Structure 1
């Protein structure tokens, strides 16, 4: 990758990780953004394409470029689901769905997707703050889901993922994501990615289940939020 593109990527990632653009927020027009970063629009487009592949942004023809992942269903449907569920149900649903997604991904993931997972796992280790770690953690699970190449299962995953962005879930994550827990999750992610690269479906399923059980246990340790 060219040096100018890499510098553009670093600048854009810094803007996104520092929450300069909230999830779902629209980025400035290409001309404005290119001028701000001091790069050509062609370099900017290549950098944006890479970020789109990473799940950091999405583009809507005629409307612009937005931070976060592309919505799969209407926001009102997410609001309806989040208003009648709770973190316990969310974790229960994740434990039903995500281990099977990991098993399928071990068989179906492309070499490019496996390389992407390895990069994500490495980036999560380099995360300098909780927000950055949360981004890479979410992207790891999202990439595993996408690797199943099953549109219905991916849609189910997206619903759960979006509901997890509710205020109460955000408060729980802040209460549980300490340095000790991060180290545990990083090691679990490393082992999971290795199982996926080894095409070991049963092991990937087992490791994903153990990881989510750990997350659930940490959530149960949090005193009730007022």
Structure 2
């Protein structure tokens, strides 16, 4: 049978081609952490594509934690390479993220409420230790990811609900993804740290309603991630001519 009519592969979208060019540019130029990429307008002109396609590529790199976009100040490398997960994997994470965040809000709001009712002195000590660990990470310029993980684990333990804890374990991998997506955003680690303190204060004071409300506010902040704002609309992938 002729091979001429074999299934065709889809042409990569322009922003995906821009990603490939940017990865090659960083590698060939020897750029490292803290170095700045050319402005979007210049990249669009040099690559012969629209600024929309360049912006889409930059958003992909940003949500992957590979670049930092400083409003009015340009785009800077976080690491010495732009190699990361394929765009297809990124889109799959984007697809499932809303369900994960919805589950987090339902479960963790109830866990915070129960923690305020049931916490022990040992639970409070674990919560404070996790908060201190996150504060140290943030002071050192990190994202506070391990401290965040410890804090939410301590809230779960303080609720003393085996069934809810099992539910949390069942989505642990997806929660880790949402944590990483959230805490990589500029300013988010310090804001999360402050929200954790509010949650702890309510649990310490044995105020279930306030603890639940504080946790709900926190998880809704976590839900505001760039990955969910990314919309790889094919209409954006038009050449600039």
Q: What TM-score does the superposition give when structure 2 sets the normalisation length? A: 0.52
Query: CA separation in 2, counterparts of 1:86 and 1:157?
Result: 16
Query: CA separation in 2, counterparts of 1:205 and 1:87?
Result: 22
Alignment of 1:90-109 (within 5 A): 90-109=100-119
Among candidates 163, 167, 191, match of residue 174 of structure 2? 163
Alignment of 1:1-226 (within 5 A): 86-127=96-137, 128-130=140-142, 133-165=144-176, 169=178, 172-173=181-182, 176-178=184-186, 180-219=187-226, 222-224=229-231
Query: CA separation in 2, counterparts of 1:105 and 1:198?
Result: 11
Q: Which has the higher contact order (CA 8 A, sep 6+)?
A: 2
Q: Indicate conservation of the 8 Å contact 1:95/1:209, yes or no.
A: yes
CA deviation after TM superposition for structure 1 residue 159, in Å: 1.5
Larger radius of gyration: 2
- Deviation sequence 1:117-174 (CA, Å, 0-9, x none): 012112211102436x1011011111111111111110101122222345xx577346
More helix by share: 1
Query: CA separation in 2, counterparts of 1:170 and 1:210?
Result: 15
Q: Indicate conservation of the 8 Å contact 2:199/2:211, yes or no.
A: yes
Aligned equivalent of 1:66: none
Runs of 5+ consecutive residues of structure 2 not aligned to the other structure? 1-91, 233-241
Query: CA separation in 2, counterparts of 1:224 and 1:171?
Result: 20
Q: What TM-score does the superposition give when structure 1 sets the normalisation length? A: 0.55
